[in-house]
Chain A
Amino acid sequence: MTNIVDTKKKRTTVILLVMVAAMFGFGFALVPLYDLLCELTGINGKVVLVPYDAKNVEVDEQRIVSVQFLALNNSGMPWKFKPNHNSIKVNPGASTSTSFFAHNPTQNLMVGQAVPSISPSGAAKYFHKIECFCFNQQELKGGAQADLGLQFFVDKDLPKNIHTITLTYTLFDVTQKVASSN
């Protein structure tokens, strides 16, 4: 009798421990799940950080979409960072180039990483980057400055209710991170 109870107790305990381990794993599984969900739906305005392979893109001459640019520095980032054009009007499908200005006012070599975000978030899926400085880290010597290029087009399937897209870059100082990983 006692032995049967002991076996059953052991079984229940093991099952529960497996559940604990599974839930711990699930906590970490939430990270890729979250990214996947955001990528599929564009919920958080995250943009794919690889160049868009543009082939046979049709241009919709009838429609005009306004694209606004914002540049922000994450706290502690001393660079001067701003768009060279604040707003551009484009036809969906037409490839457009613009650039951002960056200046490193310090005396030291620094590495910056720009992270894009698009709002309204529903537009994220329809904003394609052919070339972007955010695909790479940007290295600037002390006192140096640079124009950082961006080439993009807006998908012609952009929902009709969206007339303005805002692209925000937040510039992060990753000098320490790069130094420590080398």
Chain B
Amino acid sequence: MSEHHGPATGIQRWLYATNHKDIGTMYLWFSFAMFFLGGSFAMVIRAELFQPGLQLVEPAFFNQMTTMHGLIMVFGAVMPAFVGLANWMVPLMIGAPDMALPRMNNLSFWILPFAFAMLVSTFFMEGGAPAFGWTFYAPLSTTYAPPSVTFFIFAVHLLGASSIMGSINIIVTVMNLRAPGMTYMKLPLFVWTWVITAFLLIAAMPVLAGAVTMMLTDIHFGTSFFSAAGGGDPVMFQHIFWFFGHPEVYIIILPAFGVVSEIIPTFSRKRLFGYSSMVYATASIAFLSFIVWAHHMYTTGMPLAGELFFMYATMLIAVPTGVKVFNWIATMFGGALTFETPMLFCIAFVFLFTLGGLTGVMLSLAPVDFAYHDSYFVVAHFHYTMVAGAIFSMSAAVYYWLPKWSGKMYNETMGKVHFWVAFIGFNLTFFPQHFVGLAGMPRRIPDYALQFADFNMMSSIGAFIYGFAQLLFLYNVVQTIRKGKVNTDEKTWEGAEGLEWTVPSPAPFHTFSTPPTVK
């Protein structure tokens, strides 16, 4: 056993980092930065849509904004944030001294800044950044793409490599480094959701890599995977993309389920209701995610049998998701509830994610989807699941574990202000988008018909409020770390359970060098 030693000093600590806490911290700050970058693109979009007509940006640039907003939020903000959270929490939760493959961990983080530098540099290239939407349908992304698409393709390759390595690391850690007595059915739910997410990533990301590789050879090497002239088929692109794309949205949301399943019991002062049903529900959602992809493609002219299969399979997902929602409610039912900031975000998550789930059931109906397809209704739906799902749960996670990470307590009043501003801003932004969508406003357009003006103005005002709420979030985090009230309690929250609350606060550089025994 080597001697305990502290971290290296200066920049070397971060460049050569192999400690799971340091790497987790880097992931979290990096995703925070990307969240603000992607958010600033959203502000440009909402500013342009404040009024009908073209005010601020050219349509071509607007398309770059919608594309890069989606790409950066999905691959730069949400995914690295949850990988960072996993890096920090998984070893602490299972009683492991570190991640199983620390050097690969270093590599998987340090790929990211280069990948995003490459992606963002496309703004300064001739023809501008990718403008074909985050779904990059061929032939828009092949025949009609700006020259910068090649950089986009390599950036996606790198991001894929990074998340695959991160996933392998998490699975190897959980399978081999659990503390004695920590059986699979005793794993905290956050760890469970991450193991399942990691398997989703391993199955889905290589397919995405394949899709962009086919684009690359179509563009540069004369193949015709997606070109009908050479015997290919552009619709096949959509099949391959969504075979990755649908599991991808669960990759984003499953760790969020895990976070909420940790926090709600703490502030309800009860054990999580239906632990094993939660595990099985998560696994069922993961399985179903691979057989529903074509519900994104109802309007491509599928045969009736296909539409029906994908419709029923999609509606089936509501069952395990319903199990989860009812379990969270049952956990709160009859509990001694207190409403600290993390709990507020989690309750808002349960409420708003359910709304997003219900619009999802509406969209799953093939006959009506022909009307909703590519409208703002879809935008409202996936922001209710992605923002109120992933981002709200991430905010909850930061407030919940920040005292453990930093050894300082955040200011509860400021936390609550952040929550309420975010909650109001979020709903003001996205609730009206259901209405304009149902009334026929298409997504990804820089201008719109006059009758949508009022709701769009509300939406834009809401977006600015929501953007401001994130500045409060940043302020809260920085203030807590710099000047927060010192909190050295091992157990920050009265009702908290789990191994991470048995180590000192702030969590020392090395924890569980001797594995704890779990009864």
Contact = CB atoms under 8 A, between A and B. Distances in A.
Contacts of B208: 27
B172 A13 contact: yes
B206 A121 contact: no
Interface string B233-266: 1011001100100000000000000000000000
A26 interface: yes
Interface in B122-174: 164, 167-168, 171-172
Interface of B: 100-101, 164, 167-168, 171-172, 175-177, 202-211, 214, 222, 225, 228-231, 233, 235-236, 239-240, 243, 301-303, 306
Nearest to A77: B229
A27 to B, nearest CB: 3
A30 B167 CA distance: 24
B176 A24 contact: no
Nearest to B243: A30
Given A5-B177, A41-B303, A24 B171 contact: no
A40 interface: no
Interface residues of A, number: 37
A138 interface: no
A12 B207 contact: no
Contacts of B203: 19, 23
Contact of B230 (A27, A46, A170, A177): A177
Interface in A95-122: 113, 115, 121-122
Given A16-B202, A24-B206, A30-B239, A9 B100 contact: yes
Determine the main DSSP class of B at the interface with A: helix
Given A27-B240, A30-B239, A172-B229, A9 B172 contact: yes
Interface in A1-59: 5, 8-9, 12-13, 16-17, 19-21, 23-24, 26-28, 30-31, 34-35, 38, 41, 43-44, 46, 49
Given A8-B176, A44-B233, A174-B229, A17 B243 contact: no
Contacts of A84: none
B301 A121 contact: yes
Which 4 pairs of residues, A with B, have the shortest CB-CB distance?
A27-B210, A172-B229, A24-B206, A23-B206
Interface of A: 5, 8-9, 12-13, 16-17, 19-21, 23-24, 26-28, 30-31, 34-35, 38, 41, 43-44, 46, 49, 74, 113, 115, 121-122, 170, 172-174, 177, 180-181
Contacts of A177: 222, 229-230
Given A27-B240, A113-B229, A122-B303, A12 B176 contact: yes
B301 A20 contact: no
A34 B236 contact: yes
5 contacts: A20-B164, A23-B204, A27-B206, A74-B229, A172-B228
A19 to B, nearest CB: 5
B412 to A, nearest CB: 42
Given A31-B214, A43-B306, A44-B235, 17 more contacts: A12-B172, A13-B100, A16-B167, A20-B202, A23-B207, A24-B210, A27-B210, A30-B240, A30-B243, A31-B236, A34-B239, A35-B233, A74-B229, A115-B228, A172-B228, A173-B229, A174-B230
B364 to A, nearest CB: 21
